[in-house]
Amino acid sequence: MADMALDLDSIQEALGYRFQKTALLEEALTHPSWLAEHERAEVDNQRLEFLGDAVLQLATSILLFEAFPAEDEGKLTRIRSALTKERTLADYALVLGLGEALRLGKGEQRHGGARRPSNLGDAFEAVLGAVFVDGGMEQAMAFVRRLAGPALADVDGLLAVENPKGALQEYTQEHYHGIPHYETVSVSGPDHEPRFEVAVVFHGERLAHAVAGSRRAAECHAAEAALRVLLERDHAP
């Protein structure tokens, strides 16, 4: 990084948190590949990532416990899983600009390490760990709440992305006391590249259909579309 102090200021502004010990943030942004190439560098972000992972699980659990007092353990666990998976953490890191700030070795940088989900997810957890060490659990909670909060406004949509068929079945059972079923409308194309058209049927109505290269994929796409149909219908003025 050409100007670490400038980058740290920019990252702190994006984080919405000002470090008392900026060395912690610097550590959180240091990938092991950088450490291998710089003799003066003393520590990478892996210890902070280890701590941040635990802080993330606790902070997210508290957030969900407070936000959804009527939900059971199973659904809370599924929501937490969706909020803490690698892809989600990588998205958080991209929003915060951590990819551009992450200190990487030349080889890792050359091979796209600044956008690799595993690197970004680790960097996010390391930064969260650094916030916890520097400011305590209250600041860590506030940090997680700012990032995860918007997703909680559409939990059904969040879960649908994770497991469309499961989310649709859970919704129909809860709100309509029934479950959907899937009909294969057609199979076309050559054997090496088939196309499956599948429809979701619920209470005798075809809610949605989708086409994909496998029956399972078509079912998932159709389930996601069907859930959107029901959500829009149920929340229409």
Q: Looking at 44, 49, 125, 224, which residue is catalytic?
A: 125
- Tell me if residue 53 is catalytic: yes
- Distance between CA atoms of 145 and 148, rounded to whole angstroms? 5
- Tell me if residue 125 is catalytic: yes
- The helix/strand/coil state of 44 is coil
Task: Write phi, then psi, for 101 (nearest 5 degrees).
Answer: -90, -15
R_g (Cα) of the chain, nearest Å: 22
Question: How many Å separate Cα 66 from the centre of its chain?
Answer: 20
Q: Looking at 7, 49, 53, 219, which residue is catalytic?
A: 53
Helix spans in the chain (H)? 4-15, 22-28, 32-37, 46-67, 73-84, 86-96, 98-101, 106-110, 117-135, 137-148, 155-162, 164-176, 215-234
Q: Which residues contact 226 (CB under 8 A, 6 or more apart)?
A: 168, 180, 200, 202, 207, 208
> Within 10 A of 144 (CB to CB), how many other CB atoms are there?
22
Residue keyed to tokens 């479950």: 179
> What amino acid positions are annotated as catalytic residues?
53, 125
